[in-house]
Amino acid sequence: MKHGAWHQFGDRSQKLALEQLQHGAGVGVIISPRDLALDKAMEYAPKYKDAGGDVLYDPQFYVPGALLGKLGTYPTATHRKTVSELHKISDDDLSDLADKLRQISHDLGVAGIVAPAVVYEAGRPDIDGLNQRLFAAAESAGKSLRLPVYATVVLGRSITTSDHTTDSAVSSATALDADGWYFAFEFSVDRVPGSEPDVLRCCRTGLRLAATGKPVLHAYAGPLALLSAGFGATGVGIGHSHKVWQFTRERWEEGTAQGGGADAPARYFSNALWGTIIHPDETVQLPPALKAEVLTSSPFTSPWNRWQANKHFVHVICSKVDKLYKTATAREAVEAAIDVLSHAVALHTNIADNLHITLKDDTASYQAAWQDAMNKLLSNYSDDYDYLEML
């Protein structure tokens, strides 16, 4: 698995991902069948590879009965059933699922197989068993194509609220004979995760997966991608839409509202603030030197509009992630992230307390919590970092 940022599809991402790769941002693309029909995926996959990016296909069985968006255009749609129905899946059906995963993976020229899996839930050993069977189908496809197989480890909110339940789910997942891990963590409903205990638990979980010595792709990372290299993740999934800034199963549930916010002003993601600021309405209030520091440059800042803001967000995150992966160790990546967060906290304090400017997005609400979480990760799990450095 390539080290660095992977473009995580959301709505209208296929051209954006290609453009980013052509500008040197990111190392690969994660195709979402919810958002891109199979014929379009087959059209774009060779273009991504020509631009230097690897391709992965995520079957997105998180809510397996869902057929929203473009999911029905993939042959695996015939196996999309409720969890209770999937428990009854026959060996012949599993063999058919393996054949369809193999065909899709071959047609898209993927660099590895992402196994289908249902969201892990607390007190549901039946889901553990179901995910083992779904993984077996992916394993069969991987052996046929001689490709690595990554187990999907998506931890639901019923699990992510305690270390005990998180550890139990990780133990079940890592019992699979996988070549790596496609990892996502369900937080609360905050726009950006802001709970220090939750962020610490997410990073600790990623650290446990990395300690297996196998690659970890932190999916649906969003701005939290700043922390991923620091817990040993090999790759990080980045998408422009707020709906993929963190994992949320609502994107695969019937009746989910989409769209909205058409009149909202463009948000400018600032590397220095590690958050958004409204440009130009809020940036014009800043003193010239501070404004120059806040306005991180990218190829996508002119002309300025909401779609350019999406491209700018992806480019800034990818650039920072790729830079972090140039550090020698996960411990050094944590220290680099803490430096970014410390500076961001200081800038936000200056803007709020000295300049008396209140930013609409309240993007000062999570940096200090993340900083505390990473300091605790380093101090509480020093032995794990020593072990990573020996791998």
Which residues of the chain carry a pLDDT beneath 70? 254-263
Domain hosting residue 20, numbered range? 4-252
% of residues, the chain, pLDDT over 90:
92
Contacts of 318 (CB under 8 A, 6+ apart): 4, 5, 7, 20, 25, 26, 238
The reply to whether 155 falls in a domain is yes
Residues 126, 166, single domain; the answer is yes
64: its two tokens: 């397996």
- 248 & 271 share domain: no
pLDDT for residue 311: 98
Tell me if 48 is assigned to some domain: yes
Query: Does residue 186 form part of some domain?
Result: yes
Tell me the pLDDT of the chain averaged across its residues. 95
202 and 92, same domain (yes or no): yes
Q: What is the CATH number of the domain that holds 126?
A: 3.20.20.105
pLDDT of amino acid 255:
60
d(CA 175, CA 132): 9
CA dihedral 327, 331, 332, 335 (to 10 degrees): 140
pLDDT value for 39: 98
CB 314 within 8 A of CB 239: yes
pTM: 0.97
The residue among 201, 229, 252 that closes a domain is 252
Which pLDDT score, from 0 to 100, does residue 55 have? 98
Same domain, 318 and 241: no
What pLDDT score does 260 carry?
47
pLDDT score, position 264? 80
- Phi, psi (rounded to 5 degrees) for 27: -120, -5
Is the domain of 80 the same as that of 182? yes
